[in-house]
Structure 1
Amino acid sequence: MFENIANNVSKCISLSDKEKNFFYSVLEPRNVAKKTILLSEGEICQFEAYINKGCIRIYYIDENGFEVNLQFSVEDWWVSDIASFSEHKPSKLYIETLEDCELLILTPEKKEILLNELPKFEKVFRLLVQRKLSVMQDRLINTIAKTAEEKYLNFTHLYPTISQRVPQHYIAHYLGISPEFLSKIRTRLAKK
């Protein structure tokens, strides 16, 4: 259960067996069914979750009542509403499982215990935030500067497995286009 997260963390820091065991002790393993809302708008996010298995989406509902997909997360990713989690303020987001998921949950209290006991984890979480910021910057640039076809090609290049795991209308909403237009793009690309 902890092998994947151990490999994830080992990219940033090295841990002794005793430190690994302490880290594992603050994580809460949780199996979550497909289509479970882990966080709703207005709630305070009480978790950072490592995805051992499964696929999750983060979205918000715009002023017209439409879902806007911001992110898809799969195995070896962490998922949370960072602003809500760290600042203890109501979320503007929804976090939903798209597949049955195996998660390792870190609560704010357990994270504080972890950081007090093993301060080197500050580096792990700093690098996670930097990675998330980099991904969001790239997404913003692609949204503004690319054509719909370029956005789709970039999406499939960056996330090669997600298009087989996520309904196409979710991908269309992520790209900021209609599902019908995405279908036309995919048909055009298939003919090339």
Structure 2
Amino acid sequence: MSGPVSDAVAELIAMRAAGEITPDEFNAARGRLRGETAGAAASEREAPFHSDPQPAALAAPEPVEHGVRPSAAPKVGFTAKKPFRLGRKALLVVGGLLFGILALGSIAGQKHYKRADYGAAWPYPAYDSATVRCTVKTFGSTDRPVATVELGGVTYGLNGPALGVGGYPDPRPFEPSDKTAILATRQAMINDALTNLCRWRQ
């Protein structure tokens, strides 16, 4: 491979590494350079011998800029960037999640509570922690916020919809009946569940 062609290929390699041209553009330009070089060599081998001492006029060489002929350089400015698209697998995952939310008719959240944070105001002395959840469920044609509390792996109802149409068991038998602070803590859990977990608005 001649010096100018080698320089041109080196320039193409640099452009590909910098992301200025795509691999397909690089291969096309390199193939064209090699084709032109091979064609020129074949023409020299097949040219007939002339006894005329006067050499035939040679065509003016094509100007070379930065080691690459304009005819061989890839047209970087006209390369269209493909728009970003989610793959088929990603679309299936997103679609499945949306379908699940719509099918269940619910949006859920949860919050963890610890006995150590409440002291004597802790409403469930038989347990050291509780997980409160809130889910908006559709019953018939009506949406209702269902607030629940998980104690020792069992889920209980906290508010009216959870204890009523939700069918969850009542955790109040676990609560001491003689402490007003406990009742205030339970009501604060319910209010926080409705406002911050269910985002429920009356």
Same fold (TM over 0.5): no
Higher relative contact order (CA 8 A, sep 6+): 1
- Structure having the higher strand fraction is 1
- Structure having the higher helix fraction is 1
